[in-house]
Chain A
Amino acid sequence: MSQATLRVQKISGHAGSVPGEGAQREYTVCKLIDTTTCIGCKACEVACMEWNDLPFGETSFDNTYQTMPETRWNYWNLILFNEHEKEDGSLMWLMRKNQCMHCADPGCLAACPADGAILQYTNGIVDFQQANCIGCGYCITGCPFDIPKMNPKTNRVFKCTLCSDRVSEGLEPACIKSCPTGCLHFGSKEDMLKLANDRATQLREHYDFPQAGVYDPAGVGGTGVVYVLHDASKPELYGGLPADPHIPWSVKLWKGPLKWLGNAAMIGGLIGLAVHYLRFGPKEREETIKEPHEGAEP
Protein backbone atom coordinates (compact mmCIF):
# COMPACT_ATOMS: atom_id res chain seq x y z
CA MET A 1 0.00 0.00 0.00
CA SER A 2 2.84 2.38 0.78
CA GLN A 3 3.98 2.20 -2.83
CA ALA A 4 0.45 2.41 -4.19
CA THR A 5 0.01 6.02 -3.11
CA LEU A 6 3.12 6.99 -4.99
CA ARG A 7 1.79 5.42 -8.15
CA VAL A 8 -1.39 7.49 -8.41
CA GLN A 9 -1.72 10.43 -10.78
CA LYS A 10 -5.48 11.11 -10.72
CA ILE A 11 -8.07 10.60 -7.97
CA SER A 12 -11.83 10.82 -8.46
CA GLY A 13 -13.95 13.15 -6.32
CA HIS A 14 -10.86 14.44 -4.63
CA ALA A 15 -10.41 17.88 -3.09
CA GLY A 16 -6.86 19.13 -3.10
CA SER A 17 -3.70 17.71 -4.54
CA VAL A 18 -2.86 14.12 -5.42
CA PRO A 19 -0.52 12.99 -2.64
CA GLY A 20 1.99 10.94 -4.60
CA GLU A 21 1.75 12.72 -7.91
CA GLY A 22 5.02 12.75 -9.82
CA ALA A 23 6.87 10.84 -7.09
CA GLN A 24 7.70 7.85 -9.25
CA ARG A 25 9.22 7.43 -12.64
CA GLU A 26 6.91 5.20 -14.66
CA TYR A 27 6.07 4.78 -18.29
CA THR A 28 2.56 4.49 -19.63
CA VAL A 29 1.60 0.90 -20.23
CA CYS A 30 -0.55 -0.28 -23.09
CA LYS A 31 -2.32 -3.36 -24.34
CA LEU A 32 -2.26 -3.96 -28.07
CA ILE A 33 -5.07 -6.02 -29.60
CA ASP A 34 -4.53 -7.03 -33.20
CA THR A 35 -8.07 -7.93 -34.32
CA THR A 36 -6.69 -9.30 -37.57
CA THR A 37 -5.00 -12.23 -35.85
CA CYS A 38 -7.66 -12.91 -33.23
CA ILE A 39 -9.23 -16.34 -33.76
CA GLY A 40 -11.96 -15.90 -31.16
CA CYS A 41 -10.74 -18.74 -28.94
CA LYS A 42 -11.79 -16.89 -25.75
CA ALA A 43 -8.64 -17.93 -23.90
CA CYS A 44 -8.39 -14.31 -22.76
CA GLU A 45 -11.92 -14.49 -21.31
CA VAL A 46 -11.00 -17.59 -19.34
CA ALA A 47 -7.65 -16.19 -18.23
CA CYS A 48 -9.39 -13.06 -16.96
CA MET A 49 -11.80 -15.12 -14.88
CA GLU A 50 -9.01 -17.37 -13.67
CA TRP A 51 -6.61 -14.67 -12.54
CA ASN A 52 -9.24 -12.45 -11.01
CA ASP A 53 -11.08 -15.41 -9.43
CA LEU A 54 -14.34 -14.29 -11.00
CA PRO A 55 -17.23 -16.68 -10.39
CA PHE A 56 -18.65 -18.76 -13.20
CA GLY A 57 -21.86 -17.16 -14.36
CA GLU A 58 -24.57 -18.10 -16.78
CA THR A 59 -23.74 -17.57 -20.41
CA SER A 60 -26.33 -16.84 -23.04
CA PHE A 61 -26.73 -18.36 -26.47
CA ASP A 62 -27.98 -16.22 -29.34
CA ASN A 63 -26.89 -18.37 -32.29
CA THR A 64 -23.45 -16.76 -32.34
CA TYR A 65 -20.16 -17.59 -30.74
CA GLN A 66 -20.46 -14.71 -28.31
CA THR A 67 -20.43 -15.72 -24.66
CA MET A 68 -22.91 -13.06 -23.59
CA PRO A 69 -24.24 -9.79 -25.04
CA GLU A 70 -21.98 -7.48 -23.05
CA THR A 71 -19.47 -7.45 -20.23
CA ARG A 72 -20.79 -7.88 -16.71
CA TRP A 73 -19.70 -6.62 -13.32
CA ASN A 74 -17.97 -9.96 -12.85
CA TYR A 75 -17.07 -10.65 -16.49
CA TRP A 76 -14.64 -7.98 -17.60
CA ASN A 77 -13.28 -9.35 -20.84
CA LEU A 78 -15.57 -10.35 -23.69
CA ILE A 79 -14.90 -11.06 -27.34
CA LEU A 80 -17.53 -9.50 -29.57
CA PHE A 81 -18.15 -11.60 -32.69
CA ASN A 82 -19.35 -9.73 -35.75
CA GLU A 83 -20.04 -11.49 -39.00
CA HIS A 84 -19.24 -8.92 -41.63
CA GLU A 85 -20.32 -9.04 -45.25
CA LYS A 86 -17.65 -7.68 -47.53
CA GLU A 87 -18.38 -5.76 -50.71
CA ASP A 88 -17.89 -8.85 -52.87
CA GLY A 89 -20.54 -10.64 -50.83
CA SER A 90 -18.16 -12.93 -48.97
CA LEU A 91 -18.18 -13.11 -45.22
CA MET A 92 -15.50 -12.46 -42.67
CA TRP A 93 -15.26 -12.37 -38.91
CA LEU A 94 -14.58 -9.14 -37.13
CA MET A 95 -13.71 -10.23 -33.62
CA ARG A 96 -12.90 -7.69 -30.99
CA LYS A 97 -11.83 -8.36 -27.44
CA ASN A 98 -13.81 -5.81 -25.48
CA GLN A 99 -12.81 -4.51 -22.05
CA CYS A 100 -11.98 -1.25 -20.33
CA MET A 101 -9.96 0.98 -22.65
CA HIS A 102 -8.06 2.69 -19.81
CA CYS A 103 -8.50 6.17 -21.33
CA ALA A 104 -5.84 8.77 -20.66
CA ASP A 105 -8.75 11.15 -20.01
CA PRO A 106 -11.21 8.82 -18.27
CA GLY A 107 -14.88 9.85 -18.35
CA CYS A 108 -15.67 7.55 -15.41
CA LEU A 109 -13.14 9.35 -13.23
CA ALA A 110 -14.36 12.77 -14.33
CA ALA A 111 -17.95 11.92 -13.43
CA CYS A 112 -17.23 10.12 -10.13
CA PRO A 113 -18.13 12.09 -6.96
CA ALA A 114 -16.64 9.66 -4.43
CA ASP A 115 -13.21 10.45 -3.09
CA GLY A 116 -10.75 7.80 -4.23
CA ALA A 117 -13.32 5.48 -5.83
CA ILE A 118 -11.50 5.69 -9.17
CA LEU A 119 -7.75 6.05 -9.49
CA GLN A 120 -5.52 6.52 -12.45
CA TYR A 121 -2.06 5.19 -11.80
CA THR A 122 1.04 6.84 -13.14
CA ASN A 123 1.35 3.97 -15.61
CA GLY A 124 -2.07 4.93 -17.02
CA ILE A 125 -4.17 2.11 -15.58
CA VAL A 126 -7.63 3.27 -14.48
CA ASP A 127 -8.71 1.26 -11.47
CA PHE A 128 -11.90 1.19 -9.41
CA GLN A 129 -11.61 1.05 -5.62
CA GLN A 130 -14.87 -0.61 -4.60
CA ALA A 131 -14.30 0.22 -0.92
CA ASN A 132 -14.68 3.90 -1.76
CA CYS A 133 -17.40 3.48 -4.39
CA ILE A 134 -20.81 4.84 -3.32
CA GLY A 135 -22.76 3.17 -6.11
CA CYS A 136 -24.11 6.29 -7.75
CA GLY A 137 -23.37 5.01 -11.25
CA TYR A 138 -22.09 8.34 -12.55
CA CYS A 139 -19.12 6.46 -14.04
CA ILE A 140 -21.58 4.52 -16.18
CA THR A 141 -22.79 7.86 -17.56
CA GLY A 142 -19.26 9.19 -17.98
CA CYS A 143 -17.86 6.19 -19.88
CA PRO A 144 -18.03 6.43 -23.69
CA PHE A 145 -17.44 2.67 -24.02
CA ASP A 146 -20.23 1.24 -21.78
CA ILE A 147 -17.73 -0.55 -19.56
CA PRO A 148 -18.45 0.04 -15.83
CA LYS A 149 -21.05 -2.41 -14.57
CA MET A 150 -22.99 -2.31 -11.31
CA ASN A 151 -23.08 -5.25 -8.95
CA PRO A 152 -26.78 -5.16 -8.04
CA LYS A 153 -26.18 -6.85 -4.67
CA THR A 154 -23.46 -4.60 -3.33
CA ASN A 155 -24.22 -1.50 -5.40
CA ARG A 156 -20.57 -1.12 -6.36
CA VAL A 157 -19.20 -0.79 -9.84
CA PHE A 158 -16.63 -3.12 -11.36
CA LYS A 159 -14.57 -3.39 -14.51
CA CYS A 160 -11.28 -4.63 -15.97
CA THR A 161 -8.28 -3.60 -13.84
CA LEU A 162 -5.73 -4.25 -16.62
CA CYS A 163 -4.50 -6.70 -13.97
CA SER A 164 -3.01 -3.77 -12.09
CA ASP A 165 -1.92 -6.24 -9.43
CA ARG A 166 0.13 -8.21 -11.97
CA VAL A 167 1.43 -5.13 -13.75
CA SER A 168 2.65 -3.56 -10.51
CA GLU A 169 4.76 -6.71 -10.03
CA GLY A 170 6.20 -6.48 -13.52
CA LEU A 171 3.93 -9.11 -15.09
CA GLU A 172 1.73 -8.76 -18.15
CA PRO A 173 -2.07 -8.90 -17.75
CA ALA A 174 -3.57 -12.40 -17.63
CA CYS A 175 -5.32 -12.05 -20.99
CA ILE A 176 -2.04 -11.25 -22.73
CA LYS A 177 -0.37 -14.29 -21.24
CA SER A 178 -3.09 -16.61 -22.47
CA CYS A 179 -3.33 -15.51 -26.11
CA PRO A 180 -2.25 -18.37 -28.41
CA THR A 181 -1.95 -16.38 -31.64
CA GLY A 182 0.05 -13.48 -30.34
CA CYS A 183 -2.66 -11.02 -31.24
CA LEU A 184 -2.32 -9.56 -27.75
CA HIS A 185 0.76 -7.62 -26.73
CA PHE A 186 1.66 -5.62 -23.68
CA GLY A 187 4.33 -3.03 -23.08
CA SER A 188 4.94 0.69 -23.08
CA LYS A 189 2.48 2.83 -25.01
CA GLU A 190 5.30 3.93 -27.24
CA ASP A 191 6.37 0.38 -28.13
CA MET A 192 2.80 -0.80 -28.64
CA LEU A 193 1.99 2.09 -30.99
CA LYS A 194 5.12 1.28 -33.00
CA LEU A 195 4.15 -2.38 -33.20
CA ALA A 196 0.56 -1.49 -34.09
CA ASN A 197 1.56 0.91 -36.84
CA ASP A 198 4.01 -1.58 -38.30
CA ARG A 199 1.28 -4.19 -38.37
CA ALA A 200 -1.19 -1.77 -39.95
CA THR A 201 1.35 -0.88 -42.62
CA GLN A 202 1.91 -4.55 -43.28
CA LEU A 203 -1.85 -5.10 -43.62
CA ARG A 204 -2.19 -2.19 -46.02
CA GLU A 205 0.81 -3.04 -48.16
CA HIS A 206 0.90 -6.84 -48.19
CA TYR A 207 -2.66 -7.87 -47.51
CA ASP A 208 -5.97 -6.84 -48.95
CA PHE A 209 -6.76 -4.30 -46.23
CA PRO A 210 -6.09 -0.84 -47.64
CA GLN A 211 -8.05 0.76 -44.79
CA ALA A 212 -6.16 -1.03 -42.01
CA GLY A 213 -5.15 1.22 -39.17
CA VAL A 214 -4.66 1.76 -35.46
CA TYR A 215 -7.42 2.70 -33.04
CA ASP A 216 -6.08 5.03 -30.35
CA PRO A 217 -8.86 7.64 -30.11
CA ALA A 218 -7.67 11.18 -29.42
CA GLY A 219 -11.07 12.26 -28.03
CA VAL A 220 -10.27 10.57 -24.73
CA GLY A 221 -6.59 11.50 -24.83
CA GLY A 222 -5.65 8.15 -26.32
CA THR A 223 -6.30 4.81 -24.69
CA GLY A 224 -4.32 2.27 -22.73
CA VAL A 225 -5.76 -0.37 -25.05
CA VAL A 226 -5.12 0.11 -28.77
CA TYR A 227 -6.56 -1.95 -31.59
CA VAL A 228 -5.28 -2.83 -35.01
CA LEU A 229 -8.38 -2.92 -37.22
CA HIS A 230 -8.81 -4.31 -40.74
CA ASP A 231 -10.81 -1.20 -41.51
CA ALA A 232 -9.97 1.68 -39.20
CA SER A 233 -12.42 3.95 -41.00
CA LYS A 234 -15.37 1.92 -39.66
CA PRO A 235 -14.67 0.97 -36.05
CA GLU A 236 -18.45 0.71 -35.44
CA LEU A 237 -18.41 -2.60 -37.33
CA TYR A 238 -16.51 -4.11 -34.43
CA GLY A 239 -19.46 -4.38 -32.06
CA GLY A 240 -20.12 -0.66 -31.86
CA LEU A 241 -16.63 0.63 -31.17
CA PRO A 242 -17.20 4.41 -31.28
CA ALA A 243 -15.41 6.23 -34.10
CA ASP A 244 -14.80 9.36 -32.05
CA PRO A 245 -15.26 8.57 -28.36
CA HIS A 246 -15.09 11.42 -25.90
CA ILE A 247 -16.44 12.24 -22.46
CA PRO A 248 -20.14 13.09 -23.04
CA TRP A 249 -20.55 16.83 -23.54
CA SER A 250 -23.23 16.97 -20.85
CA VAL A 251 -20.83 15.44 -18.33
CA LYS A 252 -18.19 17.98 -19.32
CA LEU A 253 -20.71 20.80 -19.01
CA TRP A 254 -21.92 19.48 -15.68
CA LYS A 255 -18.45 19.03 -14.19
CA GLY A 256 -17.10 22.19 -15.80
CA PRO A 257 -19.00 25.44 -16.47
CA LEU A 258 -22.20 24.44 -14.63
CA LYS A 259 -20.20 23.60 -11.54
CA TRP A 260 -18.35 26.88 -11.45
CA LEU A 261 -21.48 28.86 -12.30
CA GLY A 262 -23.40 27.02 -9.59
CA ASN A 263 -20.69 27.49 -7.00
CA ALA A 264 -20.37 31.18 -7.82
CA ALA A 265 -24.15 31.59 -7.60
CA MET A 266 -24.41 29.79 -4.28
CA ILE A 267 -21.54 31.64 -2.64
CA GLY A 268 -22.63 34.91 -4.24
CA GLY A 269 -26.18 34.34 -3.02
CA LEU A 270 -25.08 33.76 0.56
CA ILE A 271 -22.86 36.83 0.54
CA GLY A 272 -25.60 38.84 -1.15
CA LEU A 273 -28.16 37.96 1.51
CA ALA A 274 -25.72 38.75 4.33
CA VAL A 275 -24.89 42.11 2.75
CA HIS A 276 -28.58 42.82 2.24
CA TYR A 277 -29.22 42.20 5.91
CA LEU A 278 -26.42 44.53 6.93
CA ARG A 279 -27.58 47.19 4.49
CA PHE A 280 -31.36 47.03 4.91
CA GLY A 281 -31.92 44.80 7.93
CA PRO A 282 -35.24 43.17 8.73
CA LYS A 283 -38.41 44.64 7.31
CA GLU A 284 -39.49 45.50 10.83
CA ARG A 285 -37.60 45.65 14.09
CA GLU A 286 -38.83 43.36 16.82
CA GLU A 287 -39.35 46.15 19.33
CA THR A 288 -41.79 47.95 17.08
CA ILE A 289 -44.05 44.92 16.88
CA LYS A 290 -46.47 44.90 19.77
CA GLU A 291 -47.82 41.42 19.72
CA PRO A 292 -50.10 40.56 22.61
CA HIS A 293 -49.38 36.90 22.00
CA GLU A 294 -45.71 37.35 22.68
CA GLY A 295 -46.25 39.50 25.74
CA ALA A 296 -48.42 36.82 27.26
CA GLU A 297 -45.74 34.20 27.13
CA PRO A 298 -43.35 33.68 30.04
Chain B
Amino acid sequence: MNQAEHAVPPGRVLRYNYKERLTHWITAISYIYLLMTGLAFWSPWLFWLALILGGGQISRMLHPWIGLIFAVCVLILFGMWASQMRVDENDKAWFKSVRYYVQNEDEQMPPAGRYNAGQKSLFWGFVVCMVLLVLSGLVLWFPEYIPWNLRSLRYIAVLVHASSALLTIGLFLIHVYMGVFAERGALGSMVHGDVSLHFVKRYHPGWYEEITGQSTSPKK
Protein backbone atom coordinates (compact mmCIF):
# COMPACT_ATOMS: atom_id res chain seq x y z
CA MET B 1 0.00 0.00 0.00
CA ASN B 2 0.99 3.58 -0.59
CA GLN B 3 3.21 4.99 2.14
CA ALA B 4 2.11 8.59 1.64
CA GLU B 5 -1.50 7.74 2.30
CA HIS B 6 -3.48 8.95 5.29
CA ALA B 7 -4.36 6.38 7.92
CA VAL B 8 -7.13 4.07 6.84
CA PRO B 9 -9.80 3.67 9.53
CA PRO B 10 -10.07 0.23 11.14
CA GLY B 11 -12.11 -2.29 9.21
CA ARG B 12 -11.45 -0.49 5.97
CA VAL B 13 -9.06 -1.01 3.08
CA LEU B 14 -7.42 1.51 0.81
CA ARG B 15 -8.74 1.07 -2.73
CA TYR B 16 -7.65 4.27 -4.46
CA ASN B 17 -4.67 6.28 -3.36
CA TYR B 18 -4.46 10.05 -3.57
CA LYS B 19 -2.87 10.11 -7.02
CA GLU B 20 -5.52 7.77 -8.39
CA ARG B 21 -8.36 9.79 -6.90
CA LEU B 22 -7.01 13.13 -8.06
CA THR B 23 -6.40 11.88 -11.60
CA HIS B 24 -9.82 10.26 -11.68
CA TRP B 25 -11.60 13.47 -10.75
CA ILE B 26 -9.65 15.65 -13.17
CA THR B 27 -10.56 13.11 -15.84
CA ALA B 28 -14.19 13.19 -14.70
CA ILE B 29 -14.52 16.97 -14.69
CA SER B 30 -12.80 17.37 -18.04
CA TYR B 31 -14.95 14.58 -19.46
CA ILE B 32 -18.14 16.27 -18.31
CA TYR B 33 -17.04 19.53 -19.91
CA LEU B 34 -16.22 17.68 -23.13
CA LEU B 35 -19.54 15.88 -22.97
CA MET B 36 -21.53 19.07 -22.53
CA THR B 37 -19.76 21.06 -25.23
CA GLY B 38 -19.62 18.02 -27.50
CA LEU B 39 -23.35 17.46 -27.17
CA ALA B 40 -23.87 21.15 -27.96
CA PHE B 41 -22.06 20.64 -31.27
CA TRP B 42 -23.84 17.33 -31.79
CA SER B 43 -27.40 18.58 -31.86
CA PRO B 44 -29.07 21.98 -32.28
CA TRP B 45 -31.47 20.91 -29.55
CA LEU B 46 -28.55 20.82 -27.12
CA PHE B 47 -26.73 23.94 -28.33
CA TRP B 48 -27.90 25.70 -25.16
CA LEU B 49 -25.26 23.64 -23.31
CA ALA B 50 -22.59 25.68 -25.11
CA LEU B 51 -24.40 28.88 -24.21
CA ILE B 52 -24.40 28.17 -20.47
CA LEU B 53 -20.70 27.33 -20.73
CA GLY B 54 -19.80 30.75 -22.12
CA GLY B 55 -21.02 30.55 -25.71
CA GLY B 56 -20.33 28.58 -28.85
CA GLN B 57 -17.03 30.29 -29.67
CA ILE B 58 -15.56 29.76 -26.19
CA SER B 59 -16.75 26.16 -26.21
CA ARG B 60 -15.18 25.56 -29.61
CA MET B 61 -11.94 27.14 -28.44
CA LEU B 62 -11.68 25.25 -25.13
CA HIS B 63 -13.04 21.85 -26.15
CA PRO B 64 -9.77 20.68 -27.79
CA TRP B 65 -7.61 21.93 -24.93
CA ILE B 66 -9.77 20.28 -22.29
CA GLY B 67 -9.64 17.23 -24.55
CA LEU B 68 -5.87 17.22 -24.23
CA ILE B 69 -6.16 17.37 -20.42
CA PHE B 70 -8.61 14.48 -20.56
CA ALA B 71 -6.29 12.48 -22.80
CA VAL B 72 -3.27 13.03 -20.56
CA CYS B 73 -5.29 12.01 -17.49
CA VAL B 74 -6.52 8.84 -19.18
CA LEU B 75 -2.90 8.08 -20.07
CA ILE B 76 -1.87 8.49 -16.43
CA LEU B 77 -4.75 6.23 -15.34
CA PHE B 78 -3.60 3.79 -17.99
CA GLY B 79 -0.11 3.82 -16.52
CA MET B 80 -1.46 3.20 -13.01
CA TRP B 81 -4.16 0.65 -13.79
CA ALA B 82 -3.31 -1.21 -16.99
CA SER B 83 -1.53 -4.02 -15.18
CA GLN B 84 -4.53 -4.54 -12.87
CA MET B 85 -6.94 -4.53 -15.77
CA ARG B 86 -5.59 -7.54 -17.65
CA VAL B 87 -8.47 -9.63 -18.85
CA ASP B 88 -8.29 -13.29 -17.78
CA GLU B 89 -10.38 -16.45 -18.07
CA ASN B 90 -12.38 -15.48 -15.00
CA ASP B 91 -13.53 -12.34 -16.80
CA LYS B 92 -14.89 -14.34 -19.69
CA ALA B 93 -16.88 -16.44 -17.23
CA TRP B 94 -18.08 -13.21 -15.62
CA PHE B 95 -19.44 -11.96 -18.91
CA LYS B 96 -21.16 -15.27 -19.56
CA SER B 97 -23.19 -14.86 -16.40
CA VAL B 98 -23.53 -11.07 -16.64
CA ARG B 99 -27.29 -11.58 -16.54
CA TYR B 100 -27.09 -12.35 -12.83
CA TYR B 101 -24.99 -9.27 -12.25
CA VAL B 102 -27.62 -7.12 -13.93
CA GLN B 103 -30.33 -8.73 -11.81
CA ASN B 104 -28.35 -8.08 -8.62
CA GLU B 105 -27.87 -11.81 -8.00
CA ASP B 106 -24.18 -11.34 -7.42
CA GLU B 107 -23.85 -14.56 -5.43
CA GLN B 108 -24.32 -16.44 -8.72
CA MET B 109 -21.38 -14.64 -10.29
CA PRO B 110 -17.88 -16.03 -10.56
CA PRO B 111 -15.88 -14.17 -7.88
CA ALA B 112 -14.33 -10.97 -9.19
CA GLY B 113 -10.86 -9.79 -8.28
CA ARG B 114 -9.86 -6.24 -7.54
CA TYR B 115 -11.75 -5.24 -10.69
CA ASN B 116 -14.57 -7.17 -12.24
CA ALA B 117 -14.82 -7.76 -15.96
CA GLY B 118 -17.30 -4.89 -16.37
CA GLN B 119 -14.90 -2.45 -14.77
CA LYS B 120 -12.08 -3.73 -16.93
CA SER B 121 -14.20 -3.25 -20.03
CA LEU B 122 -14.99 0.28 -18.98
CA PHE B 123 -11.29 0.98 -18.54
CA TRP B 124 -10.24 -0.43 -21.90
CA GLY B 125 -13.24 1.16 -23.61
CA PHE B 126 -12.21 4.57 -22.35
CA VAL B 127 -8.56 4.05 -23.28
CA VAL B 128 -9.37 2.99 -26.84
CA CYS B 129 -11.97 5.72 -27.31
CA MET B 130 -9.57 8.32 -25.94
CA VAL B 131 -7.00 7.39 -28.58
CA LEU B 132 -9.62 7.54 -31.34
CA LEU B 133 -10.97 10.84 -30.03
CA VAL B 134 -7.53 12.42 -29.87
CA LEU B 135 -6.56 11.29 -33.37
CA SER B 136 -9.84 12.41 -34.96
CA GLY B 137 -9.95 15.46 -32.70
CA LEU B 138 -6.62 16.73 -34.01
CA VAL B 139 -8.08 16.70 -37.53
CA LEU B 140 -11.22 18.48 -36.35
CA TRP B 141 -9.17 21.00 -34.40
CA PHE B 142 -7.47 22.34 -37.55
CA PRO B 143 -9.70 21.36 -40.48
CA GLU B 144 -8.50 24.37 -42.48
CA TYR B 145 -4.95 22.99 -42.53
CA ILE B 146 -5.95 19.63 -44.00
CA PRO B 147 -5.13 19.96 -47.71
CA TRP B 148 -7.95 19.39 -50.18
CA ASN B 149 -6.46 16.17 -51.51
CA LEU B 150 -6.41 14.75 -47.98
CA ARG B 151 -10.02 15.77 -47.31
CA SER B 152 -11.01 12.15 -46.73
CA LEU B 153 -9.19 12.53 -43.39
CA ARG B 154 -11.80 15.10 -42.40
CA TYR B 155 -14.60 12.88 -43.61
CA ILE B 156 -13.31 9.97 -41.51
CA ALA B 157 -12.60 12.19 -38.52
CA VAL B 158 -16.16 13.49 -38.11
CA LEU B 159 -17.49 9.94 -38.08
CA VAL B 160 -14.80 8.52 -35.79
CA HIS B 161 -15.08 11.42 -33.35
CA ALA B 162 -18.86 11.19 -33.08
CA SER B 163 -18.99 7.39 -32.89
CA SER B 164 -16.28 7.01 -30.27
CA ALA B 165 -17.78 9.87 -28.26
CA LEU B 166 -21.15 8.10 -28.31
CA LEU B 167 -19.44 4.94 -27.11
CA THR B 168 -17.90 6.80 -24.17
CA ILE B 169 -21.32 8.23 -23.32
CA GLY B 170 -22.63 4.69 -22.98
CA LEU B 171 -19.67 3.73 -20.80
CA PHE B 172 -20.01 6.93 -18.80
CA LEU B 173 -23.70 6.41 -18.08
CA ILE B 174 -23.12 2.86 -16.86
CA HIS B 175 -20.09 3.95 -14.85
CA VAL B 176 -21.96 6.73 -13.06
CA TYR B 177 -24.96 4.50 -12.49
CA MET B 178 -22.87 1.70 -11.01
CA GLY B 179 -20.67 3.97 -8.94
CA VAL B 180 -23.29 6.33 -7.58
CA PHE B 181 -26.52 4.34 -7.52
CA ALA B 182 -25.97 0.61 -7.75
CA GLU B 183 -22.91 -0.07 -5.60
CA ARG B 184 -23.17 1.78 -2.33
CA GLY B 185 -19.66 2.60 -1.17
CA ALA B 186 -18.13 2.83 -4.62
CA LEU B 187 -18.44 6.60 -4.88
CA GLY B 188 -17.00 6.96 -1.39
CA SER B 189 -14.02 4.87 -2.36
CA MET B 190 -13.15 7.35 -5.08
CA VAL B 191 -13.61 10.24 -2.65
CA HIS B 192 -12.03 8.97 0.59
CA GLY B 193 -9.98 6.25 -1.00
CA ASP B 194 -11.06 3.44 1.30
CA VAL B 195 -13.80 0.84 1.31
CA SER B 196 -15.12 -1.41 4.06
CA LEU B 197 -13.96 -5.00 4.19
CA HIS B 198 -17.61 -5.82 3.80
CA PHE B 199 -17.60 -3.99 0.45
CA VAL B 200 -14.50 -5.88 -0.64
CA LYS B 201 -16.03 -9.21 0.34
CA ARG B 202 -19.31 -8.33 -1.30
CA TYR B 203 -18.08 -7.04 -4.63
CA HIS B 204 -14.51 -8.26 -5.03
CA PRO B 205 -14.17 -11.64 -3.28
CA GLY B 206 -10.99 -12.43 -5.17
CA TRP B 207 -9.38 -9.28 -3.90
CA TYR B 208 -10.69 -10.02 -0.39
CA GLU B 209 -8.86 -13.33 -0.36
CA GLU B 210 -5.76 -11.63 -1.62
CA ILE B 211 -5.63 -8.97 1.09
CA THR B 212 -6.91 -10.95 4.05
CA GLY B 213 -4.54 -13.77 3.21
CA GLN B 214 -1.54 -11.51 3.42
CA SER B 215 -2.98 -8.91 5.74
CA THR B 216 -0.62 -7.64 8.46
CA SER B 217 -3.34 -6.12 10.60
CA PRO B 218 -4.12 -8.41 13.58
CA LYS B 219 -7.88 -8.29 13.25
CA LYS B 220 -10.38 -6.53 11.09
Interface residues of A (CB under 8 A from B): 13-15, 111, 113-115, 132-138, 140-141, 146, 149-150, 152, 155, 248-251, 253-254, 258-259, 262-263, 265-266, 269-270, 273, 276-277, 280-286, 289-293, 296
Contact = CB atoms under 8 A, between A and B. Distances in A.
B12 interface: yes
Contact of B158 (A152, A250, A263): A250
A281 B159 contact: no
Nearest to B40: A113
A284 B202 contact: yes
B214 interface: no
Given A137-B142, A282-B182, 10 more contacts: A15-B43, A138-B158, A146-B148, A155-B60, A155-B61, A250-B158, A259-B43, A277-B181, A292-B12, A293-B12
Nearest to B46: A15
B196 A293 contact: yes
B42 A273 contact: no
A280 B10 CA distance: 32
Given A114-B56, A250-B158, A251-B158, A293 B144 contact: no
Given A149-B144, A251-B158, A280 B103 contact: yes
7 contacts: A113-B42, A113-B56, A114-B47, A138-B143, A146-B148, A262-B162, A283-B202
A281 B10 CA distance: 29
Nearest to B157: A141
Interface residues of B, number: 52
A265 B40 CA distance: 17
Contact of A135 (B60, B102, B194): B60
Given A113-B40, A155-B61, A280-B102, A254 B159 contact: yes
A136 B154 CA distance: 12
B60 A136 contact: yes
Interface of B: 9-12, 40-45, 47, 50, 55-57, 59-61, 102-104, 106, 140, 142-144, 148, 151, 154-156, 158-159, 162-163, 166, 169-170, 173-174, 177, 181-185, 194, 196, 198-199, 202-203
A56 B158 CA distance: 35
A273 B174 CA distance: 8
Nearest to A248: B155
- Which A-B residue pairs are the 4 nearest by beta carbons? A137-B143, A134-B56, A250-B155, A150-B144
Contact of B45 (A15, A137, A273): A15
Nearest to B12: A293
A113 B196 contact: no
Contacts of B173: 266, 269-270, 273
A286 B184 contact: yes
Contacts of A291: 11-12, 185, 196, 198-199
A252 to B, nearest CB: 10
A148 B65 CA distance: 24
Contact of B11 (A254, A280, A293): A293
Given A138-B158, A140-B154, A250-B158, A155 B57 contact: yes
A127 to B, nearest CB: 18
Given A248-B155, A259-B42, A289-B196, A284 B181 contact: no
Given A265-B166, A277-B181, A280-B102, A134 B9 contact: no
Contacts of A114: 47, 56
A33 B196 CA distance: 78
Contact of A293 (B61, B151, B194): B194
Nearest to A272: B173
A246 to B, nearest CB: 12
Nearest to B47: A115
A293 B7 CA distance: 12
User: Which residue, of A152, A265, A283, A292, has the highest number of chain B Cβ atoms within 10 A?
Assistant: A283
B42 A262 contact: yes
Contacts of B194: 293
Given A141-B151, A282-B182, A293 B9 contact: yes
